[in-house]
Structure 1
Amino acid sequence: MSHPTLMVAPNGARKQKSDHPALPVTLDEIVQCAAECSDAGADILHLHVRNDDGSHSLDAGRYRETMAGVAEGVPNMPIQITTESGGIFDVHTQLRCLQDTRPHRASVSIREIARSPDLASHVYGFAKEACIDVQHIIYGLPDIAQYKHWVETAIIPETMNSMIFVLGQYTPPINARPDDLLPFLDATKNLSLEWAVCAFGQNELACAQHALQLGGNIRIGFENNLHLPDGTLAQNNAQTVALARALINEI
C-alpha cells in the first residue's frame, strides 16, 4: 500500500482576507504559505490564483507566474492547478486555461464540464495529449454516473482515474461528516480509483482521518475550512496541515 498523499488547498476561489487575515492571496503570500505547508508535511499544493481585487482567476499568465514563484521558493513541492469556474467562468475558458497553462496536474469538475457536453472530449482529449494528471472533482453521485458514462464512451480515458470527493458544501454552508464519504465509496466500489477527500467545516480533520482509515488520500486547507476541531480559528494553513500529517503518521 502506498503512503497517503496530503494536499493543501490554502485559499480557494471565494474566501477573502476578511474571512481570515492569513489567507494567502498574493503571489508572495502563496509562495510563503506553500513553504510553511511543505515544512508542516504537505505533499502537493492545490493552487488558486486571484486577480488584483482578490477575485477568482483562471488567467494563464497569473498561473505561470505563481507556479514559477513556488517552483523557485519550494522546489520540491508539486503543484496542481484548479480549473474551478467559481460561478464565473464557462467551459471554453476552463479549456483555454488548460491549453495556455499546460500544467502537470489539474483538478477538473465533472459537473462543470457537463455544462457544455460538446466540449468534454476537447477538455479530456487535450489533458491526455498534454499528459496532465487530472483529478476529477466529485460533488455528488450524479458526477460519478457522468464519469462512468464518459469512460464508457471513451471521452475520459480509463487511465484518468483520480477523484476527489467533496464532503459538505460551501453555499449554503453544510458541515461535512465522516459518514458522508460512504455513499461515494459505495458508488465507486467497482472502479479502480485513486481517491481523496476534502471536507467543508470544522469536521475537516475527522473526515480526513476516516478517509485515511479507508485507504484514501486527503486535502486540507483554508479553501474548505478555517477552524480547528474545537471550533477556534486555525492560526494558518500550516497548523492544520501539521495536524493532518500527524494523522497520517499514526497509520
Structure 2
Amino acid sequence: MRIVACLNGDRRPGAHPALPISPDQLAADARTVVDAGADEIHIHPRDARGAESLEPQVLTPLLKSLRDAVPGVPISVTTALSAEPDPWRRYDLVQRWGELPDSATVNLHEPGSVEVARLLVDRRVGVEAGLASPDSARILAATGLADDVVAALVEPTQATTEEALRNASDIDTVLDRAGIELARMLHGADDTAWPLLEAAVSAGRDIRIGFEDTMRGPDGTEVANNAALVTAAVERTAAAR
C-alpha cells in the first residue's frame, strides 16, 4: 500500500503555521514525512509570493531541493487549473518544463486536461488521472488515456462522507464496466479525509494524507505538521494488516 504525503495543495500561506511554501520548507517537510513513513511526495509548487505556479523557473529548483532532501523518493506535482487558470498557458508551461517530476496529477474534469495528460505521457512523466465524478471516469475511458496513465485518483469532493463514498462507488462502477484495471487511490478532503482514508485502507488501496487534504488528525484536533498526519495514517495501515 502506497502512502503519498500531499504537503500543501492550494491552501493559502498562513493557513497553518507549519504549511510548507518555500523550496526550503518543502524540502525539510519532505524529509520529515518520509521519515514518518511516506513513500511519495505530492506538491503544489509556489513562487516567491507564495502563489501556486507551474513556471519552469519555479519547478526546477524546487525539484532539485526535494531530490537532495529525499533522494530516490518519487515526486508528484500538480497540474491543476488552480496553479494556472489558462488551459493553453498551462500546456505551454508543462511543455517548457526542464527538470521533470516523476509523476503529475491531471484533473480530467478541467478544460485542456486530456491534452496536458498526453503531453506528459509523451515526456515520459507518469500521469495520475484525477477523477472527481463518473463523468471524469468516462473521459478516461473514452479518450484511451487509461492505457497510458499510471494510476486513477478517485477523489470525490462531496462534503459528507456518505455522499463522497457514494460518488466514489459510482466512479468505480464506470471504471469497472470499462475494464480499467489501474491502481486506484481514494482520498477525501477536510471532513471526509479520514473516513475515506479508512475506506481506502479497508479496500487495500493506496492512500494519501497531508495538509492539502486536512489539517486535523483522526480525532478532529489540529495537528502540528504533515509528519503527524503521515504517522497517524501509518498507524491505520498497520492496524489493517
TM-score, normalising length from structure 1? 0.86
- Distance in structure 2 (CA, Å) of the matches to 1:27 and 1:87: 16
The answer (yes or no) to whether the contact 1:9–1:45 under 8 Å persists in 2 is: yes
**Matched pairs, number:** 234
Q: 1:88 to 1:80 in 2, by over 3 A?
A: closer
Aligned ranges for residues 49-88 of structure 1 at < 5 Å?
49-86=45-82, 88=84
2-structure distance, mates of 1:91, 1:168: 22
The match for 2:149 is: 160
SS in 1 for 2:30: helix
Measure the CA separation in 1 of the matches of 2:200 and 2:50: 32
Alpha-carbon offset, residue 203 of structure 1:
3.8
Corresponding letter in the other structure for 1:188: L
Q: What's the CA shift for 1:76? A: 2.8
2:96 is paired with a residue whose SS is helix
Residue 111 of structure 1: SS of its match in structure 2?
Answer: coil
**Which of 188, 194, 206 is equivalent to 1:217?**
206
2:141 pairs with 145, 148, 152, which one?
148
Which string of whole-angstrom CA distances, capped at 9 and with x for unpartnered residues, describes residues 87-146 of structure 1? 74222222223222233211111111xx24xx83x4333222221110011111111111
Question: Secondary structure of the equivalent of 1:89?
Answer: coil
TM-score by length of 2: 0.89
Where do residues 1-251 of structure 1 align in structure 2 (5 Å cutoff)? 4-17=1-14, 19-86=15-82, 88-101=84-97, 102-112=100-110, 115-116=111-112, 120=114, 122-151=115-144, 156=145, 158-168=147-157, 174-177=159-162, 179-180=165-166, 181-189=168-176, 190-250=179-239, 251=241
Letter in structure 1 aligned against 2:133: G
Higher mean alpha-carbon deviation, 158-167 vs 36-45, is at: 158-167
Distance in 1 of aligned mates of 2:94 and 2:65: 19
Check 1:36–1:162 CA distance in 2 against 1; reply closer, same or farther (3 A cut). Answer: same
User: Over aligned residues, Cα RMSD in angstroms?
Assistant: 2.0
Query: Which range moves more in the overlay, 34-43 or 53-62?
Result: 53-62
5+ long unaligned stretches in structure 2: none
Q: Is the 8 A contact 1:166 1:197 kept in 2?
A: yes
**In the alignment, is the contact (CA less than 8 A) between 2:141 and 2:175 conserved in 1?**
no
Q: Which runs of 5+ in 1 are unaligned?
A: none
**Per-residue deviation at 1:147?**
1.3
Identity %: 23
User: Aligned partners of 1:70 and 1:88: how far apart in 2?
Assistant: 22
